[in-house]
C-alpha cells in the first residue's frame, strides 16, 4: 500500500454549516478507509455524519461539539496507514441572515465499469437550508432501482449498467421559491468486451474458402485482433479481414493454412479471447492445375480465356471454374464462372473498357479442387472517343471550283480503337471525281487536337486533269458549231418563205 496522496485539511466553519474532509490512498487489495475523531472512531450512527466511498467525510448542521482533530485510517490485509491530522473549528452561533443557495462541492466526472457503484457528491449551503434534488440533463428519469440518497444530497447508484451513463445535474433550491443553483457531472459506465458470436472450428478442402466470424460487444466498442498459432495474423492476397476485423476470410486455402486461429476482443474495460481450428482436407489423386492459360482481348467489354487440361489425374474432372476479378480489386471481389469439363475456353463478357482483369482456372472433381493455375492479366480495349472534324483544305483539278459549298460539313463520330482512327467523310460526286487531296483536322475532348492528316482516296483513281480539260474544250466547241448550224437553217427557211410569197 502506498502513502496517502490526499490528506484532510484544517477547516473553520460557522455553526449550522457543512464540513468536508477527504483522504485518498492506493493499494492492492483496495484499502478500506475509516475516520477517527480525537483518535476515536467516528460515530456513523449520527445522521449528520456521512461517510462516502473513496475517503470522504461530510458533517452537516455543524455544532460546537463537532470541533476536534480528524484523521483517516486505511487498512488492507497487507498494512495499516494513518493520514495526517486536520482540525475542525466550529465558530460562532447559527446566523439568521438570509443567504442564497450555494453548492460547495458538485458531482465529479466518473468513469466506472458495469456492476460497480457510483457516488455523485453534492454539498449545498444557504439560509434557509436548501433542498437538493437530482435529474438527468437528457430528461430521462433516473429511476428508483439501485438508487439511494446519502446524507443530505449525495446520489448513489448501485450495480451500474451502460444505461446509467449520462450527465447528472445537482440542483440546490431555496424552499418556497424558484431560486436555485446547479452543478453537473458526467457518468461514463464501461462494459468489458464479451463475445456475441464465437469463431467455430471448421474443415475445408484444399482450394476452397474458409470463413471465421468473431463478433464482440462492449462499451466502448472493442477492437478485434486475430492470432495464428499464437502469432499476430498477417493479411495477404488470400487472407482478408473485414467488418471491423470481425470476419476472417481465407481464400484458396492450402495445407499451410491449417492452424489454430485466435480472436481477441479488447477495450479499456477488459478483454476476452476465443479460438478455432482450421483443418485442411487433402484428397489423393486430385488433378493438377490447368495448363497454358491465355487471355485475349476481343473488345472493350469482352475477353476470351483459354486453357489446356491438367497434366495428371484428369479422368475424374467434372468441370472447371474460371476465377475473374479486376486486377486492382481485392481478392474478395473475385467472382467465378463454371465451365463444363469438355470446354477449354470461355468468353467473358460485360467487362469494363480500358480495365485490367486477372484470370486463373481450377479443375474440380467430386473430392475437391486442383491447385490454381498460373494467373494471367490482360486489359480490355478502350471505348470509342468522340471527335469533331474540320476540313482544312481540298485540292481539285480545277482550281476555279470552290469545294466547300459542295462538301457536307457536320460533326461526325470518329472512332479510336487501339490507337487506330477510323474517319468517314462524304463528298459530293463532282468533288469526289475531281479531288486530288483533302486534309482533315480532328479535335478531341478538352480542345486537344490531333495533327492534321491527308484522307486516303478509295475506290476511284484520281482524275486526269488534262484529259478533263480537253473533254471540256471539245464539249464547248461542239455546242458552238451546233448553234451556228441551227441559226443558218432558220435564216434559209425565212428567206424561202418570203420569196415564195412574192411569187404568188
- Three-state DSSP at 13 gives strand
Q: C-alpha grid cell for residue 192? A: 468489458
Per-residue model confidence as pLDDT tens digits over 11-25: 999 888 899 999 999
CB distance 372 to 207 below 8 Å: yes
What does pLDDT average to over the chain? 81
Q: Rounded CA gap, 268 and 394, in Å?
A: 81
Q: C-alpha grid cell for residue 385? A: 472517343
pLDDT for the residue 429: 54
Largest CA distance in the chain: 180
pLDDT for the residue 459: 43
Does residue 268 have a pLDDT over 90? yes
* Percentage, residues of the chain above pLDDT 90: 49
Confidence of residue 227 (pLDDT cuts 50, 70, 90): very high
* Cβ-Cβ contacts under 8 Å for 340 (sequence gap 6 or more): 319, 320
Classify burial at 482, counting beta carbons within 10 Å of its beta carbon; exposed 0-12, middle 13-18, buried 19 or more. Answer: exposed
pLDDT for the residue 84: 94
Does residue 232 have a pLDDT over 90? yes
Per-residue model confidence as pLDDT tens digits over 59-111: 998 999 999 999 999 998 888 999 999 999 998 766 677 888 999 999 999 99
Q: C-alpha grid cell for residue 208? A: 476452397
Section 304-317 average pLDDT: 88
Confidence of residue 405 (pLDDT cuts 50, 70, 90): very low
CB distance 318 to 364 below 8 Å: yes
Per-residue model confidence as pLDDT tens digits over 363-386: 888 877 888 889 999 998 876 544
pLDDT for the residue 286: 79
The helix/strand count (H/E) of the chain reads as 2, 40
pLDDT for the residue 433: 53
pLDDT for the residue 7: 94
- Other beta carbons less than 10 A from residue 465's beta carbon: 14
- φ/ψ of 272, rounded to 5, equals -150, 160
Section 322-327 average pLDDT: 92
Residue holding cell 495428371?
Answer: 312
Amino acid at each position: 500500500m502506498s502513502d496517502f496522496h490526499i490528506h484532510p485539511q484544517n477547516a473553520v466553519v460557522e455553526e449550522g454549516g457543512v464540513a468536508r474532509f477527504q483522504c485518498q490512498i492506493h493499494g492492492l487489495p483496495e484499502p478500506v478507509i475509516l475516520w477517527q475523531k480525537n483518535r476515536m472512531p467516528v460515530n456513523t450512527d449520527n445522521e449528520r455524519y456521512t461517510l462516502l466511498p473513496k475517503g470522504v467525510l461530510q458533517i452537516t448542521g455543524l455544532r460546537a461539539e463537532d470541533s476536534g482533530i480528524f484523521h483517516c485510517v486505511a487498512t488492507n490485509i497487507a498494512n495499516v496507514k494513518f493520514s495526517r491530522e486536520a482540525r475542525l473549528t466550529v465558530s460562532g452561533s447559527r446566523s439568521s441572515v438570509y443567504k442564497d443557495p450555494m453548492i460547495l462541492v458538485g458531482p465529479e466526472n466518473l468513469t466506472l465499469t458495469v456492476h460497480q457503484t457510483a457516488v455523485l457528491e453534492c454539498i449545498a449551503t444557504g439560509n434557509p437550508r436548501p433542498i437538493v434534488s437530482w435529474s438527468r440533463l437528457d430528461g430521462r428519469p433516473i429511476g428508483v432501482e439501485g438508487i439511494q440518497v446519502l446524507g443530505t444530497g449525495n446520489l448513489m447508484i448501485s450495480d451500474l449498467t451502460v444505461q446509467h451513463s449520462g450527465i447528472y445535474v445537482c440542483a440546490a433550491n431555496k424552499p418556497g421559491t424558484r431560486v436555485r443553483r446547479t452543478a453537473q457531472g458526467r457518468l461514463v459506465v464501461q462494459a468489458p468486451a464479451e463475445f456475441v458470436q464465437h469463431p467455430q472450428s471448421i474443415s475445408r478442402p484444399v482450394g476452397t474458402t474458409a470463413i471465421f466470424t468473431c463478433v464482440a460487444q462492449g462499451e466502448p466498442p472493442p477492437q478485434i485482433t486475430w492470432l495464428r498459432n499464437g502469432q499476430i495474423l498477417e493479411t495477404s492476397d488470400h487472407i482478408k479481414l473485414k467488418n471491423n476485423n470481425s470476419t476472417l476470410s481465407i481464400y484458396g486455402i492450402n495445407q499451410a493454412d491449417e492452424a489454430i486461429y485466435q480472436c481477441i476482443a479488447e477495450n479499456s474495460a477488459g478483454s476476452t479471447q476465443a479460438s478455432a481450428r482450421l483443418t485442411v482436407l487433402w484428397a489423393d489423386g486430385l488433378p493438377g492445375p490447368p495448363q497454358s492459360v491465355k487471355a485475349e482481348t476481343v473488345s472493350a467489354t469482352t475477353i476470351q480465356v483459354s486453357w489446356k487440361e491438367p497434366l495428371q489425374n484428369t479422368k475424374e474432372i467434372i468441370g472447371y471454374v474460371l476465377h475473374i476479378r479486376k486486377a486492382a480489386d481485392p481478392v474478395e471481389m473475385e467472382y467465378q464462372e463454371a465451365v463444363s469439363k469438355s470446354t477449354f475456353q470461355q468468353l467473358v463478357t460485360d467487362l469494363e473498357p480500358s480495365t485490367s482483369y486477372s484470370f486463373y482456372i481450377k479443375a474440380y472433381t467430386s473430392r475437391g479442387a486442383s491447385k490454381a493455375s498460373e494467373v494471367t492479366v490482360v486489359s480490355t480495349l478502350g471505348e470509342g472517343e468522340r471527335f469533331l472534324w474540320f476540313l482544312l483544305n481540298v485540292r481539285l483539278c480545277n482550281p476555279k471550283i470552290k469545294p466547300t459549298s459542295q462538301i457536307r460539313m457536320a460533326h461526325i463520330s470518329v472512332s479510336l480503337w487501339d490507337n487506330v482512327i477510323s474517319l468517314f467523310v462524304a463528298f459530293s460526286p463532282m468533288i469526289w471525281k475531281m479531288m486530288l487531296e483533302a486534309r482533315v483536322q480532328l479535335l478531341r475532348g478538352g480542345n486537344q487536337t490531333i495533327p492534321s492528316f491527308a484522307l486516303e482516296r478509295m475506290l476511284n483513281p484520281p482524275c486526269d486533269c488534262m484529259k478533263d480539260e480537253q473533254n471540256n474544250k471539245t464539249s464547248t466547241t461542239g455546242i458552238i458549231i451546233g448553234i451556228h448550224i441551227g441559226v443558218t437553217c432558220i435564216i434559209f427557211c425565212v428567206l424561202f418563205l418570203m420569196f415564195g410569197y412574192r411569187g404568188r
